[in-house]
């Protein structure tokens, strides 16, 4: 630990360090709270839509399904380009809207997989996510180099997934699921470390709030992708 690093109070005494650590814990708790509430919103929307024929038939049995499937990507791109200019309240509103739209997109899992399978996979994904996020928070190892490698893997998974839409290869889907799980588990640790390192005591309330929302979005996406890939890999179909 570098005692001159501004994140550690410019070599301040133990009391200042304790204040910094307390502020960091509150910041990380805010990130996890946003993420957790976001997952609840997504789950509720997905379950309601996926178990209500009057809702899922007009969506998934029409071209509207492509809008629902691509809408989350549009939200993520909007977030990426506008996060700096958005207010903290605007960022929160967009995040909750994104979680609801993601719920619409994920409603299809209730049409394909059994409820028991979905529940079991959720808890497996939560365990994997929790363990790797804890590692990212506590490790002293710099994960920057690993993060660069994982981003390359992410682009590879995306490209392979697009190609497999047209090929429909079960073998390729199996490989995508395995590699994708490894990539998103690794990204969970990397993103957690980045969120931790971005925290600074001199950030104003507005900046800290936006950082918490954007950090929650990063972890949320990792969790959802881990869940989806695990479900494709181990899920029991209806």
Mean per-residue pLDDT, 204-227: 90
| Number of neighbours of residue 99 by Cβ within 10 angstroms | 26
Residue in the block written with tokens 């409603």: 107
Residue in the block written with tokens 């979005």: 217
Alpha helices in the chain (DSSP H): 14-50, 53-60, 64-82, 88-106, 109-112, 115-138, 144-167, 170-198, 205-234
More confident: 37 or 63: 37
Instruction: Please report which confidence band the pLDDT of residue 41 belongs to, taking 50, 70 and 90 as the band edges.
Output: very high
Q: Give, as one character, the DSSP assignment of residue 8.
A: G
Mean per-residue pLDDT, 226-234: 88
**pTM for the complete prediction?**
0.86
Q: Are the CB atoms for 100 and 41 separated by under 8 Å?
A: yes
More confident: 208 or 37: 37
pLDDT at 12 exceeding the cut of 80: no
Q: Which residues contact 139 (CB under 8 A, 6 or more apart)?
A: 189, 193
What is the predicted pLDDT for the residue at 3?
A: 44
- The C-alpha atoms of residue 19 and residue 16 are separated, in whole angstroms, by 5
How deeply is 66 buried, as exposed, middle or buried, from its count of CB atoms within 10 A (0-12, 13-18, 19+)? exposed
């Amino acid at each position: 630990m570098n005692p001159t690093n501004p994140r550690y109070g410019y070599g301040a005494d133990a009391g200042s360090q304790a204040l910094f650590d307390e502020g960091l814990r509150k910041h990380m708790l805010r990130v996890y709270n946003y993420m957790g509430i976001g997952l609840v919103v997504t789950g509720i929307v997905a379950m309601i839509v996926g178990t209500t024929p009057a809702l899922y038939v007009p969506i998934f049995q029409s071209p509207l399904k492509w809008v629902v499937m691509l809408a989350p990507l549009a939200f993520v791109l909007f977030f990426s380009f506008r996060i700096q200019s958005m207010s903290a309240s605007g960022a929160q509103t967009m995040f909750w809207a994104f979680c609801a739209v993601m719920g619409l997109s994920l409603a299809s899992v209730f049409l394909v997989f059994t409820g028991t399978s979905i529940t079991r996979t959720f808890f497996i994904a939560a365990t994997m996510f929790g363990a790797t996020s804890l590692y990212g928070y506590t490790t002293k190892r710099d994960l920057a180099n690993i993060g660069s490698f994982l981003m390359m893997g992410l682009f590879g998974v995306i490209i392979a997934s697009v190609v497999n839409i047209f090929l429909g290869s079960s073998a390729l889907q199996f490989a995508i699921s395995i590699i994708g799980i490894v990539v998103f588990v690794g990204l969970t640790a990397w993103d957690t470390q980045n969120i931790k390192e971005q925290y600074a005591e001199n950030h104003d309330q507005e900046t800290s709030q936006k950082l918490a929302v954007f950090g929650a979005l990063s972890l949320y996406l990792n969790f959802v992708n881990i869940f989806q890939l695990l479900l494709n890999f181990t899920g029991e179909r209806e």
